[in-house]
Amino acid sequence: MTLLETIRSPKDLRTKTMDELGQIAQEIREAICGQIALSGGHLAPNLGVVELSIAMHVVFDFAWDRLLFDVGHQCYPHKLLTGRLPLLAGLRTSEGMAGFPDPRESDYDLFSVGHAGTGISTGVGMARGDTLNAEGFDPRTNPDGRRVVTLIGDASIVNGVAMEGLNNAGTLNRQFLVVLNDNGMSISRPQGAMAHYFDRLRLSHTYTEFKRSAREMLKDLPGGSLIREAYHRATEATKAWTGEGGWFEHFGLLTVGPIDGHDLPTLIQFLREAREIDRPMVLHVKTVKGKGYRFSEEDSSRFHSPSPFRVADDETKAAPTASCRVELKSDGRSFTSAFGDAMIDLMTRDPKVVTCTAAMPDGTGLTRIMQQFPERAWDVGICESHGMDMMAGLAKTGYRPFFAVYSTFLQRAFDQAFQEVSLQGLPVRLCLDRAGLVGGDGAVHHGFCDIALLRVLPDAAIMAAIDEPSLRGALEFMRTYDAGLSCVRYPRDSVSDRLAADACPPFVLGKARCLTPDFDVMDAHARAPDVCVLAFGTPAITALEAARQASCAVSVYDARFAKPIDADLVRALLERQIPIITIEDHGVIGGFGSAVLEAAAAMGLDASRVTRLGLPDAWIHQDPRSRQVAQAGYDAPGILRAIHDAAGASSPVPARRV
């Protein structure tokens, strides 16, 4: 039995020697790397916080104290230390451990978190609540009260919500610890003035004179000897600063660090003293993203959240610092890669096209674009709201901005999409990667509400791609669409080549594309179908497979637009009493199917023959994307059942025959 296997709760850590804690750190790295090599998952972020996670659980009792994660993708060591090692083998599936904190799994997880910037604000709320409940730590009146700790990264802390949280944290009259995990990386390199500020701190070997008032204050801090000592130490292992240059002190937070986030004895000592400080504090910890394996340290962006991979020469166990070759599993050409190539083509042809992303250049396909067009492509950091407003400013000056952002993170910039873009009639173009179900990342990352959000904006053009040619067609349409906001959505999936032999007609505002010409209801010479499937996005490809197996005549349309809807097509179908099945990789509430129902109502047509397939009004948690789609009921068997049910209700065709 390994030492890690003996850790059933954090209290078991407190019986271990420092050497044993170091061995546990190594075993955590081996367990995480070995599992992610099989299943994929967040690798580099978790490797970087192993010692920090151990130290926090040694010092604090998070069965009573509060631990708030910010983004949450660095929670694997925390989970292994809180009794969830048996769940690691099912990582990111319904049988195992979620890839983000999840209160369904453990009381040690307080929030399901996958969006950046929230941890400080929720921590402030819990600190205030504990104080009101007379449960908060106070060294004089309640020394056994609850402490509050928030773990946040250097890229997340520049997020607007994090700034608001810091501003309020400084007003707390009690213990509140922010552990700043500074690895010089988010998913890619952090951007902006704060990132440069942290760089200067890490590189500087000279420190300003410490304020006399700070020194006097520290004399009165309980157990503050080590922190006082830190003010006079400037070694490579432990560098500390506070004073006129202490940026966080402007928020009213005592600030100490940076200290070495991989030095367990130092971490534990500093955390023990910080635990007793009865005022808001930032502990600045310097870590290495991907720590422990050379391949992940040297390319931490690539190994932020890799697919399954194989390491040559079994480096994961034998020689973690050796040079090696790593092979990542590939499932084919992704929509992300297709988007990147299409954008390069657009930007080459049109010098007015510009683009940006919010800390996701690799994840959105912009990395090569930023290299090729450094003056017209930007990474704004984890600042989606700023990115949207910046794009509005560029549109106002006559450029054609394309904002590449995950669907789940678009939500953070909806106010700007409303106020600064749509209300102004500005043509900002949104490229929504990871739209729909996202697989192992689970509910925190599903792109299930972008259609519902954007459909309320006047003059918005909302599209979905079904394959690479249609993605290129949508982007070209958006390039010259100047009436208002436009967007195209596409999933975290491989592009299909099912229609590769067919020419992809240009996008025309509000017009669908028939994928089954023999049953095109808009063609007077075509045969009338028994059922019509209107699919928005990649479910159209799945619908073609279901239609091929159906026992009745089925027409399948690539709807292309959720706004404006192809009202002429909807009218033709309903007036001829042809049942309609709408399918979307999006919530059924407020989505494409809802738009079809609204269009029917506006035309005074009977919509009782419309069946909607999409994400149900319930959370779908981590699992492979194919299993999630089946759970939602719009995989090929689910669509086939819906076709036969619709046909059976309207015609003598047998209800089922596969």
For 419-465, give the DSSP string.
Answer: IIIITTT---EEEEET-B--GGGGGGT-B-SHHHHHTTSTT-EEEE-
The tokens describing 110, both together, are: 């307080």
- Pick the catalytic residue from 66, 289, 513, 563: 289
The secondary structure of residue 309, as a DSSP letter, is E
Q: Compute the C-alpha angle 574/576/582, nearest 5°.
A: 35
Whether 412 is catalytic is yes
Q: How far apart are CA 75 and CA 42, in angstroms?
A: 9
Amino acid, single-letter form, for residue 532? C
Pick the catalytic residue from 273, 384, 420, 468: 384
Question: Rounded distance, CA 437 to CA 449, Å?
Answer: 11
Cα–Cα distances in angstroms (integers) from residue 279 to residues 141, 170, 225, 405, in the given order: 15, 8, 16, 38
545 Cβ partners below 8 Å, 6+ apart? 636
Q: In 3-state terms, what secondary structure has residue 320?
A: coil
Query: Do residues 285 and 257 make contact, with C-beta atoms less than 8 angstroms apart?
Result: yes
**Per-residue DSSP letter, 14:** G
| C-beta separation of 378 from 318 below 8 A | no
Question: 10 Å Cβ neighbour count for 456?
Answer: 12
CA separation, residue 487 to residues 304, 362, 590, 608, 621 (Å): 27, 20, 16, 30, 26
488 SS3 class: strand
The active-site residue, picked from 412, 434, 560, 612, is: 412
Q: What is the DSSP string of 94-155?
A: TTS--SS--TTT-TT--S---STT-HHHHHHHHHHHHHHTT-B-BTTTBTTSBPEEEEEETT
In angstroms, the first-to-last Cα distance of the chain is 51
The two three-digit tokens of residue 427, written as one number:
């043509």
Distances (CA, A) of 193 to 37, 259, 579: 36, 21, 57
Whether a cis peptide bond, with omega within 30° of 0, leads into 564 is: yes
Distance CA 7, CA 82 (A): 8
Q: Distance between CA 383 and CA 301 in Å, rounded?
A: 18
Q: How many angstroms separate the CA atoms of 26 and 32, rounded? A: 10
Sign of torsion over alpha carbons 330, 336, 338, 343: negative
SS3 state of residue 472: helix
- CA distances 579 to 98, 170, 260, Å, are 40, 60, 65
Give the C-alpha separation, 461 to 39, whole Å: 37
Cross-sheet strand order for the sheet of 580-587: 513-514, 554-558, 531-536, 580-587, 610-615
Whether 384 sits among the annotated catalytic residues: the reply is yes
- What is the DSSP secondary structure assignment for residue 417, as one 8-state letter? I
The phi and psi torsions of 230 (rounded to 5 degrees) equal -60, -25
Token pair 């397939």: residue: 613
Location of structure tokens 């922010």: 178
- Which residues are designated catalytic? 289, 384, 412
